[in-house]
Chain A
Amino acid sequence: MKHSTFLLFTLPSLSVMFLFIAIPIVSVFIQSLHIEHKQVIIVSENCDPFGCETTTSVDTEASAKLKEKAPLGKFNGFKTYSNRMHFAFDEIGEAWNSSDSFIVFVKKIYNYPLYRALSFTLTYTFVVTPFVLFLGFLVALGVNNLPKLLKGPTIFASLLPMIVTPLVGSLILFWMVDGDGVIGATLQKIFNDNSLSLKASPVLTWVMLMVYGIWHLMPFSFIVFYAGLQTVPHETIEAATIDGASKFQRTRHVVIPHLMPLAIFITLILLMDNFRVFEPIISFRAEAHATSISWLIWNHLRESAYPLYNAAGATSMITIFCVGILLLPVLIRTWRDFNEKNKG
């Protein structure tokens, strides 16, 4: 295809991606280097017969002028990255010096928002992903053994947890595990403890969020594995059976190696999707016990009267950096494959 034709065909697509994905990443980085202007304060002294009083007021005109001159705010370098909302270097140094044991130190670090969010996001990602892979594979094996008539309805029912909006899906579960909901109330009865609440305990909140994550994403790995199972070569299975391999051995030595490329693909998608976990935290109102990086950015933009663009920007850059590390192995692999293909 000629260069000019290629450009004409891809121009709309490339320009929206450039304008709304590439440029915002740059703009987020610039935002993170600036800090909002301080309000210009006028100190005035009023004297009356009873003495003098100093009053302070905001000079709105001067503040507005300052903002107009430099709408991004004051240049702040990388200080936003090192403040207590983010890496909190000073505070960590202090915590290291003042803690007598490593556990105390870790607990102190956990109080800083970024480390809190990172620890939940990473735990979530690396717990949910293997569970989804494993359980999805088992269900795929199970469905593959079903009579043909039942396969269609099974796939239909399996798709629902994934297709449904994450916010809505997690709300549905949240209402069920509520103290008055069907699962929550039943658990209270079983353990005979009326104050038992999945929402009040940090550990149970984490577990609940991860169970939701597994429920939500399992259909994806199930469907892909199920499609993969249809392509397992029949001859190899037969040959293994003739050689005396049991069903388990056939699965272990024929089916699993055949599905390995698929597993890598699923892992990649799962890592990307799990790392941006956000909606369930809103639905479960879990922010007291579990926050994710995306939630943290949302919070910077939403919670205070003025959006904290610099904090949101810095957190976003840290997130992008983490995503880069997650993707690096895949990118290197693809690059190698591509080069080999071009050589051969």
Chain B
Amino acid sequence: MNTKIENKLTPVRIIAFVFVALWLIVAMFPFIWTLWGSFKVQADFFSKADWANAIFGFHTEKQTGNFFTIDGYYGSWIQEEFWRAVINTSIVVFFTVLISLTFGTLGGYALARSTYRYAFWILMAGLIFRAMPHMTLVSGYLQPFFAWNVWGILPTTIIVLVAINQPFTLWMLHSFFLNIPKDLDESAMCDGCNRFQAFRYVIIPIMWPGVITTGLFSFLLAYNDFTVTSMLLSDENETMIPAIASFLGTVQEEGKVMYAVAAVVSATAPLFFLVMFFQRQIVSGLTAGAVKG
């Protein structure tokens, strides 16, 4: 009976429906518009006369003979060598996630199992570190990095991103490990394992759901970072996001804005698939800290 009432169309439901539909348009439209427009020429995507040009590709057909053009992609990936930035991003993201998770699982496990007061203080320090605007930290790196001659190379950026990532990773894995019953590893220790063996043979096999969720967020942080990568990498080691930012400075003249549009779509595409395949994990990760605390 209850479900029958819930399926009735009341005015409140209709308002809710309309409101959600409105939000969906606001959330999705910019992406669809830009994805579609990236296959057009600039005169269409930035058409003052008629926005319908961007949909039907009036100028695109005139200039290239087809409704679709991949000129923007060709220009950015090949001519402006965006592929280099893509490779750099892959390296940075891969190693940042790998190292963050390794450090984070070890630390998070210990924090979840320790009953001493300092574990609490470490978590509090993590919270404060999490709040630090990244730009304030970056301004502290530059001078020593120049002095030691480690500025501009990928390993420096990777280790900095790992560090900035650590507070969040620790918090998340700490709350994940709290959910794994203590009895599991303690009974292993009764059977004669030491702490490391218990971790290796009991915890590692069952920790993957939490690690994957945390890894997704580490991935996002490293992939989306602009502050650290733009300040700490030299031009030839540039990753995707600072590369897009520097496109804006250099390719403002006619026709080349589409290079930046194509690069933006290229940088968004992996995130799109990430959300598609890992939606459940992302949602559970976002709510992990919240629903419990």
Instruction: Point out the residue from A9, A17, A220, A279 that lies within 8 Å of B129, measured CB to CB.
Output: A17
Quick one: given A27-B140, A31-B143, A326-B131, are A10 and B19 in contact (CB under 8 Å)? Answer: no
Beta-carbon contact of A323 and B132 below 8 Å: yes
- For chain A, what secondary structure do more than half of its interface residues adopt (helix, strand, loop), or is it mixed? helix
Select the stretch in A88-96, A103-111, A198-206, A294-302 that faces chain B: A294-302
Residues of B close to A167: CB separation below 8 A: 224, 226, 241, 244-245
Instruction: Point out the residue from A24, A173, A326 that lies within 8 Å of B141, measured CB to CB.
Output: A24
Residues of A close to B268: CB separation below 8 A: 164-165, 168, 172
Residues of A close to B227: CB separation below 8 A: 278-279, 294, 298
Most chain A beta-carbon contacts within 10 A, residue among B126, B131, B257: B131
Beta-carbon contact of B140 and A31 below 8 Å: yes
In the complex, B39 has a CB within 8 A of chain A:
no
Quick one: given A12-B103, A165-B224, A266-B290, are A319 and B136 in contact (CB under 8 Å)? Answer: yes
Residues of B close to A240: CB separation below 8 A: none
Beta-carbon contact of A215 and B26 below 8 Å: yes
Beta-carbon contact of B19 and A139 below 8 Å: yes
Instruction: Point out the residue from A24, A165, A182, A317 that lies within 8 Å of B137, measured CB to CB.
Output: A24
Beta-carbon contact of B271 and A139 below 8 Å: no
Residues of B close to A2: CB separation below 8 A: 195
In the complex, A178 has a CB within 8 A of chain B:
yes
CA distance in complex: A120, B291 (Å): 32
Q: Which residue of B lies closest to A13 (CB)?
A: B107
In the complex, B12 has a CB within 8 A of chain A:
yes
Quick one: given A27-B144, A172-B31, are A298 and B135 in contact (CB under 8 Å)? Answer: yes
In the complex, A219 has a CB within 8 A of chain B:
yes
CA distance in complex: A155, B24 (Å): 9
Quick one: given A154-B24, A163-B275, A294-B135, are A6 and B114 in contact (CB under 8 Å)? Answer: yes
Quick one: given A276-B134, A282-B245, A313-B139, are A227 and B287 in contact (CB under 8 Å)? Answer: yes
CA distance in complex: A337, B132 (Å): 23
Instruction: Point out the residue from B13, B109, B162, B260 that lies within 8 Å of A16, measured CB to CB.
Output: B162
Beta-carbon contact of B104 and A171 below 8 Å: no
Beta-carbon contact of A227 and B107 below 8 Å: no
Quick one: given A220-B286, A223-B286, A278-B135, are A182 and B103 in contact (CB under 8 Å)? Answer: no
Quick one: given A175-B34, A297-B139, are A9 and B106 in contact (CB under 8 Å)? Answer: yes
Select the stretch in A39-47, A57-65, A78-86, A142-150 that faces chain B: A142-150
Residues of B within 8 Å of A, CB-based: how many? 99
* Interface 1/0 per residue, A148-162 and B, CB below 8 Å: 000010111111110
Instruction: Point out the residue from A10, A17, A24 that lies within 8 Å of B110, measured CB to CB.
Output: A10
Most chain A beta-carbon contacts within 10 A, residue among B28, B227, B244: B227
In this complex, the interface size class of chain A, counting residues with CB under 8 Å from chain B, is 35 or more
CA distance in complex: A231, B274 (Å): 27
In the complex, A242 has a CB within 8 A of chain B:
no
In the complex, A130 has a CB within 8 A of chain B:
no
In the complex, A272 has a CB within 8 A of chain B:
yes
Residues of A close to B111: CB separation below 8 A: 10
Residues of B close to A298: CB separation below 8 A: 135, 227, 231
* Interface 1/0 per residue, A323-344 and B, CB below 8 Å: 1101100110010001000000
In the complex, A245 has a CB within 8 A of chain B:
no
Beta-carbon contact of A159 and B275 below 8 Å: yes
In the complex, A25 has a CB within 8 A of chain B:
yes
Looking at the assembled complex, report how far the CB atom of B184 sits from the nearest CB atom of chain A, in whole angstroms. Answer: 14
CA distance in complex: A70, B171 (Å): 40
Looking at the assembled complex, report how far the CB atom of A71 sits from the nearest CB atom of chain B, in whole angstroms. Answer: 7
In the complex, A115 has a CB within 8 A of chain B:
no
Beta-carbon contact of A181 and B46 below 8 Å: yes
Looking at the assembled complex, report how far the CB atom of A169 sits from the nearest CB atom of chain B, in whole angstroms. Answer: 8
A–B pairs, 19, beta carbons within 8 Å: A20-B163, A24-B140, A142-B23, A155-B283, A160-B27, A163-B275, A166-B226, A168-B241, A171-B244, A171-B264, A175-B257, A185-B47, A185-B51, A188-B48, A262-B291, A276-B133, A282-B226, A294-B136, A316-B140
Given A159-B279, A313-B140, 11 other A-B residues pairs in contact with their CB atoms under 8 A: A27-B144, A142-B20, A160-B31, A163-B282, A173-B30, A223-B283, A228-B290, A265-B290, A265-B293, A302-B231, A313-B139
Question: Closest 4 CB pairs between A and B?
Answer: A24-B140, A13-B107, A20-B163, A9-B110
